[in-house]
Amino acid sequence: MKTSITCSLALAALLPLMHLNAQAEETYSLKDSVSFFIKSGKSDLEARRYSTAWSSFEKAAKLDPKNIEAQTGIMNACLKMNRMAPAIRAMETVIQLTPSDYATQWKLAQLYFNYGQYDKVLEMVPDLRTKVTDAKGWAFMLGKAYQSKEQFGKAITYLQQAMKDEPANSEAPYLIGRMYVQMENYKAAISFYKNSLERDSTSQPNRVYELALVLATANQFEESISYFKMALDKGFKARDDFYMNMANTLADAHKTDEAIKMMEEMLSRRPGDIGLLNGLADVCYHSGRYKEAISYWDQLLAGDDKNARALYQIGLAYIKMGKDKDGQQLCDRAIAMDPALAVLKHAKQMPM
């Protein structure tokens, strides 16, 4: 009986030690597993097995969510695979664990910028640019972020700084030009468009076309035509709207024959196009070629005898040709068809 009691006491004494040993073994096993998965992830990352590396780092992070190496590994593997959402989550975790890791914060700010999360860019970049010695492109990032918020004053200030900091950046002056166009300050936009093309003169036919339109809107027709032609030379894939804009600019530059030829070529591809017929009639009318203008309006009337505006324009053309009585009768008939035209009766012209 005495021996049994002694054994029970000994066993009871051993239980806490066994529990401690089990805890130690579990802790060691956990630490060892995290280390194993991180080591495997690094090996796969070096071997460019990015998906496998990501999986290993994820296993380590599940065992120890606060392990910086695991989170950094996820970040690097996902960046290599262009898997931005998990990369960003891992970066955010790293920053929470190491708030003074400004290099990772800067990398995260760049990702936010690349994916259009401009609110976060505006939140992070002003402070980071003073803490990260290699924070290149910060002015451009802030400029584009403020542009997205339509805060054009701040955007232009930062983008002008970007123009100084990054001589090869052709987008900074281009964005400034676009903002001036939005503000309908076309003359101010021109120099920035030109600056953008000087920085990248080979691969931007779309911007060349935009500049042609801006110049035309600013009534600089001759120069506009040269940029229309340049856009074609640089490989711009022109559609009929391109040629219509170019034809109108040729007409504004008093190159009437070229404008009409271009429009007629378009009309041969698109017979009966109302916009083209109106455009041709308008160009002929304003260049004093009234009979030709009438022939195009007649085509419009042939397709729609209720087209009061075409009839009214024919009346104006007759008046310009000195046939006042016939012209006035046509104008009066048009007004009877569409009383809204009465406001033009004294002006004797249609609105542009």
Quote the CA–CA distance of 122 and 135 in Å, as a whole number: 14
Quote the domain boundaries for residue 48: 31-99
Q: Indicate whether 16 belongs to any domain.
A: no
pLDDT of 16 reads 52
Closest to 331 in 3D by CA, of 323, 341, 340, 322: 341
**pLDDT tens readout for residues 285-307:** 999 999 999 999 999 999 998 99
Amino acid (1-letter code) at residue 118: Y
In the chain the beta strands, taken as DSSP E runs, fall at none
Q: Indicate whether 69 belongs to any domain.
A: yes
Q: Indicate whether 254 belongs to any domain.
A: no
As a whole number, mean pLDDT of residues 156-165 equals 97
**The token pair that represents 263 in the structure block:** 């429009």
Q: Indicate whether 19 belongs to any domain.
A: no
Closest to 212 in 3D by CA, of 145, 44, 197, 112: 197
Dihedral sign from CA coordinates of 293, 299, 302, 308: negative
pLDDT at 351 over 50: no
Q: Indicate whether 46 belongs to any domain.
A: yes
- Give whole-number Cα distances, 170 to 53, 167, 223, in Å: 38, 8, 21
Quote the CA–CA distance of 212 and 242 in Å, as a whole number: 10
Q: Indicate whether 109 belongs to any domain.
A: no
DSSP element (H, E) containing 18: helix 2-46
Last residue of a domain, one of 75, 99, 123: 99
pLDDT tier at 22, thresholds 50, 70, 90: very low
Chain position carrying tokens 């989170």: 71
pLDDT of 176 reads 98
Supply angle C-alpha 62, 68, 73, rounded to 5: 75
Quote the CA–CA distance of 85 and 67 in Å, as a whole number: 19
Domain containing residue 70: CATH number: 1.25.40.10
What's the full length of the chain, in residues?
A: 352
Quote the CA–CA distance of 131 and 128 in Å, as a whole number: 5
pTM over 0.75: yes
pLDDT at 53 over 70: yes
**The token pair that represents 46 in the structure block:** 């070096």
Last residue of a domain, one of 68, 99, 130: 99
pLDDT at 343 over 80: no
Q: Please, how many CA atoms are within 13 Å of residue 300, restricted to the half-sphere of its CB?
A: 24
Last residue of a domain, one of 83, 99, 115: 99
Quote the CA–CA distance of 257 and 261 in Å, as a whole number: 6
What is the domain count for the chain? 2
**pLDDT tens readout for residues 55-104:** 999 999 999 999 999 999 999 999 999 999 999 999 999 999 999 999 99
pLDDT of 189 reads 98
pLDDT at 145 over 90: yes
Is there a contact between 151 and 181 (Cβ–Cβ < 8 Å)?
no
**pLDDT tens readout for residues 192-229:** 999 999 998 777 899 999 999 999 999 999 999 999 99
Q: Indicate whether 155 belongs to any domain.
A: no
Q: Indicate whether 35 belongs to any domain.
A: yes
Alpha helices in 82-204 (DSSP H): 84-97, 102-114, 118-128, 138-148, 152-165, 171-182, 186-199
